[in-house]
């Protein structure tokens, strides 16, 4: 790695860290933020004065309207040209025009619904061809093709359900029911009654936070009344449920349910073990490390290493410097496709067991295809699982 030389006018790279640690996505925001902070600590320790990155923390406190003002303040008053932040697609779409106006970079670390590729955004959390498509390539042959879609009433729930319907229909299956609830709605009785009546082979949940937790508790109760709805027969699957939320759901409540992610704490890799040890040292021994934590961490490391290579915080030059040597991290070697600004990501399928996941399947690292311009059908009709069963 070359010597880091700041431009004459710049002494410090100020990095906006914009996550909400309150509200429906509090657990996710906290993990993203803490992963980013851990990476900053490491970069500071490793590089000393060669790389000075100073965090500027903004916390909207669960209030959606605050993202824009906080992002604007970071870019106009705090000297930031980079923001790592936002969890929901709504907040990302709110912040993007501010970032575009100042020609800054937003580093977005969460899985999202695709159909976006902004030159001012670096996407490291994955889009549907990296999570939903491989998830359904496993689920349809393994569990059946009668699917129930549950979602939150906003763009993530709507778009993920729409894509799931397209995947299932293309593969010769059917959507036996679809319900979207308001984001914070915890009265899930109607939804669970619909699932019970339609008797799907599995349920896709794109709900968030407390609403999703209530749904998983209600599905546990349903499985106790009727064994046909136990996770072994009719699992609830999602692309955003991680270790971060398991304590809130309650120990054992969601055991057996499935989730797709680019990282699980239980991965048997040296990088996963290393990250877990670092997180424990920094945040305490009980700290769980989710894919949100790992992606926040890996993204800020990537940013820092690119800054070292180009010696500036100029967003255009720093984004160009991402096209450098791949460094190994918890997500594997992290590479950003310069055409789409999206990371190539591995696929893991996890099953909830106690306070963590066990990995039950995996898929190869794949480049992002945010507009799904690749081959059709997305999942072949006679689809065999493309996943390697590892346990």
Partner 1 sequence: MSGTPNFRGQRAVVLHRPSETTERLARQLTLLGLTVAVRWRPLDHATEADIVLVDADEGWTGLLPWRERDNKPVPLVALLASEAPGRVAWALDQGADALLAKPVTPSAVYPALVMATRRHDEACAAAAVLGELRERLRLRPLVFGAVEGLRAEQGWTEEEAYRHLRGEAMRHRLTLEQCAAALLAAGQGRRA
Q: Residues 139, 184: contact at Cβ < 8 Å?
A: no
Q: Confirm or reject binding of residue 372 to partner 1 (CB under 8 A).
A: yes
Smallest distance from partner 1 to CB 122, Å: 14
Would you mind telling me the total number of residues written for the chain in this entry? Answer: 391
Smallest distance from partner 1 to CB 116, Å: 6
Edge-to-edge strand list for the sheet holding 13-18: 53-58, 13-18, 80-85, 105-108, 121-123, 342-343, 336-337
Q: Residues 341, 334: contact at Cβ < 8 Å?
A: no
Tell me the sheet residues that pair with 54.
14
Torsion of CA 308, 314, 317, 322, to 10 degrees: 50
Total number of residues that touch partner 1 (CB under 8 A): 21
Q: Confirm or reject binding of residue 162 to partner 1 (CB under 8 A).
A: yes
Q: Residues 168, 380: contact at Cβ < 8 Å?
A: no
> In this chain, which stretch among 23-31, 114-122, 182-190, 273-281 interacts with partner 1, using CB under 8 A?
114-122
Compare residues 112 and 229 and give the one whose CB is closer to partner 1.
112
> In this chain, which stretch among 80-88, 89-97, 147-155, 291-299 interacts with partner 1, using CB under 8 A?
89-97
> In this chain, which stretch among 91-99, 201-209, 320-328, 349-357 interacts with partner 1, using CB under 8 A?
91-99
Q: Confirm or reject binding of residue 166 to partner 1 (CB under 8 A).
A: yes
Q: Confirm or reject binding of residue 117 to partner 1 (CB under 8 A).
A: yes
Q: Confirm or reject binding of residue 48 to partner 1 (CB under 8 A).
A: no
Smallest distance from partner 1 to CB 118, Å: 5
Q: Confirm or reject binding of residue 130 to partner 1 (CB under 8 A).
A: no
- Rounded Cα distance, 149 and 195, in Å: 9
Compare residues 197 and 339 and give the one whose CB is closer to partner 1.
339
Q: Confirm or reject binding of residue 163 to partner 1 (CB under 8 A).
A: yes
Q: Confirm or reject binding of residue 371 to partner 1 (CB under 8 A).
A: yes
- Interface of this chain with partner 1, residues 310 to 369, rule: CB under 8 A: 339-340
Torsion of CA 29, 32, 35, 37, to 10 degrees: -70
Q: Confirm or reject binding of residue 96 to partner 1 (CB under 8 A).
A: yes
> What is the DSSP secondary-structure string of 334-354?
--EETTTTEE-EEEEEEEEET
Distance of CA 219 to the CA centre of its chain: 24
- Rounded Cα distance, 292 and 264, in Å: 10
- Tell which one of 169, 222, 266, 271 touches partner 1 (CB under 8 A): 169
* DSSP structural state of residue 4: P
- Tell which one of 286, 373, 388, 391 touches partner 1 (CB under 8 A): 373
Site residues for partner 1 per CB under 8 A = 93, 96-97, 100, 115-119, 162-163, 165-166, 169-170, 339-340, 370-373
């Amino acid at each position: 790695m070359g010597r880091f030389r700041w431009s004459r006018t710049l002494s410090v790279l100020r990095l906006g860290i914009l996550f909400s640690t309150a509200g429906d996505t509090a657990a996710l925001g906290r993990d993203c933020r803490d992963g980013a902070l851990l990476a900053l600590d490491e970069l500071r320790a490793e590089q000393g004065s060669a790389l000075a990155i100073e965090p500027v923390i903004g916390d909207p406190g669960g209030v959606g309207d605050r993202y824009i003002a906080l992002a604007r303040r970071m870019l106009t008053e705090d000297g930031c040209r980079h923001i790592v932040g936002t969890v929901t697609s709504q907040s990302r779409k709110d912040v993007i025009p501010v970032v575009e106006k100042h020609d800054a970079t937003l580093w977005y670390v969460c899985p999202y619904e695709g159909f976006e590729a902004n030159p001012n955004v670096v996407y490291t959390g994955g889009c549907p061809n990296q999570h939903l498509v491989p998830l359904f390539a496993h689920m349809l042959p393994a569990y059946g093709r009668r699917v129930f879609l549950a979602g939150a009433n906003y763009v993530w729930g709507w778009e993920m359900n729409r894509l799931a319907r397209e995947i299932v229909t293309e593969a010769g299956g059917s959507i036996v029911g679809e319900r979207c609830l308001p984001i914070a709605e915890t009265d899930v009785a109607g939804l669970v009654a619909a699932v019970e009546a339609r008797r799907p082979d599995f349920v896709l949940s794109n709900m968030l936070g407390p609403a999703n937790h209530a749904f998983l508790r209600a599905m546990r109760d349903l499985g106790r009344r009727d064994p046909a709805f136990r996770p072994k027969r009719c699992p609830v699957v999602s692309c955003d449920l991680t270790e971060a939320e398991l304590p809130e759901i309650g120990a054992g409540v969601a055991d057996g349910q499935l989730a797709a992610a680019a990282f699980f704490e239980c991965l048997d890799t040296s990088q996963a073990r290393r990250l877990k040890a670092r997180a424990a040292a920094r945040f305490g021994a009980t700290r769980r490390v989710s894919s949100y934590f790992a992606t926040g961490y890996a993204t800020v490391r990537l940013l820092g290493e690119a800054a070292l290579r180009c010696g500036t915080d100029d967003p255009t030059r720093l984004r160009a410097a991402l096209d450098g040597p791949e460094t190994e991290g918890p997500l594997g070697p992290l590479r950003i496709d310069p055409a789409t600004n999206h990371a190539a990501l591995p696929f893991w399928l996890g099953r909830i067991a106690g306070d963590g996941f066990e990995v039950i399947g995996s898929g190869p690292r794949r480049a992002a295809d945010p507009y799904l311009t690749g081959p059709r059908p997305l999942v072949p009709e006679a689809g065999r699982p493309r996943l390697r069963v590892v346990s």
